[in-house]
Chains A and B, each alone.
Chain A
Amino acid sequence: MTTYVFRSDAGQRHQVLKRGDTVHVDGSPLSVRALDAGHYLAPVGARPAHVHVATHGDTLYLQLHGRSCVVERVDPTHSGASAGAAGQGSASAPMPGVVVSWIAAPGVQVAAGEALLVIESMKLQMTIEAPQSGTLEDLPFQPGQTFQRGAVLARVRPEETPA
């Protein structure tokens, strides 16, 4: 489950969950089809509409019916498993830089300490490692994209420990 807000209406949070081709938005299921990179077909009421999207970190730029808007992905104030774990599954940038390459891809299982991506900062290359074991949920920045200090570079969803 991921939380999003419209930049123009940041007080209202929306819960979005993707299961296969169906995306649940605040409980309502919508079937979304990818046509091309950054180009989707999604229903607006009864009719499908073309939506274009580009992402930069946690910010998504979308266009529908010729109008654009900005949606931000919000870090939930608590992640499921670990107590007081706000951000514990996240690796943040120690300083501004650029992503050189990905080593792992979203969706795979990773172990704590495993290399996830390579960044370059102040002419130094460094490898960002998984802060804990779990599923690599997201790499918000793609190769070539720049980020600021403190930006979340990787999100790992910790595995549920059996009771």
Chain B
Amino acid sequence: MTIRKLFIANRAEIALRVTRTAQRMGIATVVPWHAKDRHGPALKVADETVELHGEPPVSAWLDGAALIQTAIASGCDAIHPGYGFLSENAGFARAVAEAGLTFVGPPAEVIELMGDKITARQFAQRHQVPVTPSADEAEDPQHFAERAAAIGFPLLIKGAAGGGGKGMQIVREAAALPQAIATARAESLRYFGDGRLLAERFVEQPRHIEVQVFGDSHGQLIHLGERECSIQRRFQKLIEESPAPTLSPELRERICGAAVRLASAAGYVNAGTVECIVAPTGEFYFLEMNTRLQVEHPVTEMVTGLDLVEWQLRVAQGEHLPLAQAQVRWHGSAIECRVLAEDADAGFVPDTGQVLLLGEPQGPGIRFDNGVTQGARVSADFDSMLAKLIAHGATRDLAIARLRQALQDTLMLGVTVNTDFLGRVLAHPAFQAGATDTGFLERHKAELRPRDWNEDERRALLAVAGAVSRDSHSSALPEVFAAMGAWRN
């Protein structure tokens, strides 16, 4: 069943991304907007736009029933959820199907199975996909300490009901175990009112490695390679790349094989990502599965030369996967940086403002997935990601060099962005050597601090400030006004 008109239930860069591919495939597109989000680039490209209502603004994208109604009213026969919002909401997927529309994603039952971390973990174990060894105190409280010790050190004792790093103790040797259990229990009781504990293998300096999988409704399921996303702050990815540097071919095969085995067993359809952590010693453990397209999918697209949104739409239309596993080819290296509206040097504090001057980088191997247009307001209403900048090269060094130049060429004046910080990470010798793990940013914090402007630079900046103030009637004005020059009534 060919999709004729697609409703893209998302915004900013992903809305544009999906719209472009749909248009290329001859599918009509409808993109929503909100009064507080009227500058999205997709709105200038889509065939139709429709206003959503809701306060706060994000609620408009979380109102499944209203989104479905809007899609139907616009004459759409399919909905693409993008990422975030309702993309992994089984209830929404089910409601879309029940309304007679095609949901571009996996079936609701599969979203449900993989969406719950505990059921997903148990499912993984049943299919010989390694998970971090753990011991749940509740299963056998009397022997908890022994069972914990049996996991091996270092291990983590944490509150079963907890989160946010509270009530967690890292234990590196057997002698420290009894005290750690006592402390963790006391903290868990204090913070969560629940002293039950879990013991889990603690992986030091883990790499975050994830596998892109793709299934169709005819039982085919393949992988499109892995991505490494170890450069994170506050558990959010900042830099992602494919292939994972320093991953041995043997380990790559085992991880990708496990991902395919897991997704196949789950009857997975459409795009999905199996996330794992890899220990320095080479063991890998299943973390969770994301049942949607990921933010960082462009790096996979650039090394495989494929369009994953096109594959999503084809699979949603009931087609077979365009390629068999043996036909997939990988070339070179691709790295993505997330351009965020935040002051990375002041503790990654988000910034708000207006994009007064926008300059997009370009060049060989450069891809810029922009989520804002010039004049767009950046507020706390939405995610702070303004754009994604991706570079590809035949070698990882070339990709890094191209990306560093492109970051310098990126202009987003009027709001603080993290592009200079990202450039410093790419320039760091440890990053260049591929020595990355999820503790990278914390560990190299001091080396990643900016240097002060020197005297010559400060003078140049002030000189331009002085020059533009006198020319203030022409700076930052759209060309048609600037060309008018000075005028009087």
Which residues of A does B touch, CB under 8 Å?
Answer: 2, 4, 6, 14, 16-18, 23, 25-26, 28, 30, 32, 34, 37-38, 40, 42-45, 49, 51-56, 60-69, 71, 73, 102-108, 115, 138-140, 142-143
- Among candidates B409, B453, B461, B486, residue contacting A107 with C-beta atoms closer than 8 Å: B486
Q: How far is the CB of B349 from chain A (nearest CB, A)?
A: 14
Given contact pairs A40-B468, A68-B416, A71-B462, enumerate 6 new A-B contacts (beta carbons under 8 Å): A63-B411, A71-B465, A103-B488, A105-B488, A106-B472, A108-B486
B456-483 CB contacts (< 8 Å) to partner A:
456-477, 479, 481-482
**A32 vs B450: C-alpha distance in the bound complex, in angstroms?**
26
**A49 vs B463: C-alpha distance in the bound complex, in angstroms?**
12
Query: Are A142 and B465 interface neighbours, CB within 8 A?
Result: no
Q: How far is the CB of A9 from chain B (nearest CB, A)?
A: 9
Interface: B489 (CB within 8 A): yes
19 contacts between A and B (CB under 8 A): A4-B465, A6-B461, A18-B470, A42-B461, A51-B461, A52-B411, A53-B357, A54-B413, A54-B476, A55-B476, A56-B356, A62-B413, A64-B461, A67-B420, A68-B413, A68-B420, A73-B465, A108-B486, A142-B472
- Among candidates A2, A49, A62, A66, residue contacting B423 with C-beta atoms closer than 8 Å: A66
- Among candidates B419, B468, B471, residue contacting A60 with C-beta atoms closer than 8 Å: B468
Q: Which residues of B contact A55 (CB under 8 A)?
A: 356, 468-469, 472, 475-476
Query: Are B465 and A16 interface neighbours, CB within 8 A?
Result: yes
Interface: B395 (CB within 8 A): no
Interface: B417 (CB within 8 A): yes
Query: Are A52 and B456 interface neighbours, CB within 8 A?
Result: no
**A115 vs B457: C-alpha distance in the bound complex, in angstroms?**
39
Query: Are A142 and B473 interface neighbours, CB within 8 A?
Result: yes
Q: Which residues of B contact A26 (CB under 8 A)?
A: 459, 462
**A23 vs B414: C-alpha distance in the bound complex, in angstroms?**
24
**A17 vs B481: C-alpha distance in the bound complex, in angstroms?**
26
- Among candidates B356, B420, B463, B474, residue contacting A16 with C-beta atoms closer than 8 Å: B463
Q: Which residues of A contact B476 (CB under 8 A)?
A: 37-38, 53-55, 142
Q: Which residues of B contact A105 (CB under 8 A)?
A: 473, 486-488
- Among candidates A44, A65, A103, residue contacting B408 with C-beta atoms closer than 8 Å: A65
**A103 vs B464: C-alpha distance in the bound complex, in angstroms?**
26
- Among candidates A54, A107, A143, residue contacting B356 with C-beta atoms closer than 8 Å: A54
Q: Which residues of A contact B75 (CB under 8 A)?
A: none
Query: Are A54 and B470 interface neighbours, CB within 8 A?
Result: no
Query: Are A106 and B473 interface neighbours, CB within 8 A?
Result: yes
**A30 vs B417: C-alpha distance in the bound complex, in angstroms?**
29
Contacts A60-B468, A103-B489 given; indicate if A23 touches B357 (C-beta within 8 A).
Answer: no
Binary CB contact string for chain B from 346 to 389 against chain A (1 if under 8 A, 0 otherwise): 00000000101101000000000000000000000000000000
B482 closest partner in A (C-beta): A37
Query: Are A18 and B477 interface neighbours, CB within 8 A?
Result: no
**A53 vs B419: C-alpha distance in the bound complex, in angstroms?**
16
Q: Which residues of A contact B407 (CB under 8 A)?
A: 66
**A102 vs B407: C-alpha distance in the bound complex, in angstroms?**
36
Q: How far is the CB of A6 from chain B (nearest CB, A)?
A: 7
Query: Are A62 and B464 interface neighbours, CB within 8 A?
Result: yes
Contacts A23-B466, A38-B468, A66-B407 given; indicate if A61 touches B473 (C-beta within 8 A).
Answer: no
**A65 vs B453: C-alpha distance in the bound complex, in angstroms?**
10
Query: Are B488 and A44 interface neighbours, CB within 8 A?
Result: no
- Among candidates B359, B465, B474, B486, residue contacting A52 with C-beta atoms closer than 8 Å: B359
- Among candidates A34, A38, A43, A106, residue contacting B460 with C-beta atoms closer than 8 Å: A43
Query: Are B462 and A52 interface neighbours, CB within 8 A?
Result: no
Query: Are B463 and A23 interface neighbours, CB within 8 A?
Result: yes
- Among candidates A6, A66, A140, residue contacting B458 with C-beta atoms closer than 8 Å: A6
Q: How far is the CB of B427 from chain A (nearest CB, A)?
A: 11
- Among candidates B413, B467, B469, B472, residue contacting A63 with C-beta atoms closer than 8 Å: B413
- Among candidates A61, A69, A103, residue contacting B414 with C-beta atoms closer than 8 Å: A61
Contacts A64-B461, A68-B420 given; indicate if A18 touches B489 (C-beta within 8 A).
Answer: no
Q: How far is the CB of B479 from chain A (nearest CB, A)?
A: 7
Query: Are B419 and A66 interface neighbours, CB within 8 A?
Result: yes
Query: Are A38 and B475 interface neighbours, CB within 8 A?
Result: yes
Q: How far is the CB of A17 from chain B (nearest CB, A)?
A: 7
**A65 vs B17: C-alpha distance in the bound complex, in angstroms?**
29
Q: Which residues of A contact B357 (CB under 8 A)?
A: 38, 52-54, 61
**A7 vs B104: C-alpha distance in the bound complex, in angstroms?**
47
Q: How far is the CB of B422 from chain A (nearest CB, A)?
A: 10
**A54 vs B476: C-alpha distance in the bound complex, in angstroms?**
6
**A56 vs B474: C-alpha distance in the bound complex, in angstroms?**
13
Q: How far is the CB of B359 from chain A (nearest CB, A)?
A: 7
- Among candidates A16, A56, A66, A107, residue contacting B462 with C-beta atoms closer than 8 Å: A16
Query: Are B465 and A138 interface neighbours, CB within 8 A?
Result: no
Q: How far is the CB of A5 from chain B (nearest CB, A)?
A: 10
**A55 vs B357: C-alpha distance in the bound complex, in angstroms?**
9
- Among candidates B416, B420, B473, B489, residue contacting A66 with C-beta atoms closer than 8 Å: B420
B451 closest partner in A (C-beta): A67
Closest 9 CB pairs of A and B: A66-B408, A54-B356, A105-B486, A16-B466, A54-B357, A61-B413, A54-B413, A23-B463, A42-B460
Query: Are B413 and A52 interface neighbours, CB within 8 A?
Result: yes
B416 closest partner in A (C-beta): A68
Q: How far is the CB of B458 from chain A (nearest CB, A)?
A: 7
Q: How far is the CB of A43 from chain B (nearest CB, A)?
A: 6
Q: Which residues of B contact A43 (CB under 8 A)?
A: 456, 460
B356 closest partner in A (C-beta): A54
Query: Are A37 and B464 interface neighbours, CB within 8 A?
Result: no
B476 closest partner in A (C-beta): A54
Query: Are A66 and B409 interface neighbours, CB within 8 A?
Result: yes
Q: Which residues of A contact B488 (CB under 8 A)?
A: 103-105, 108
**A42 vs B461: C-alpha distance in the bound complex, in angstroms?**
8
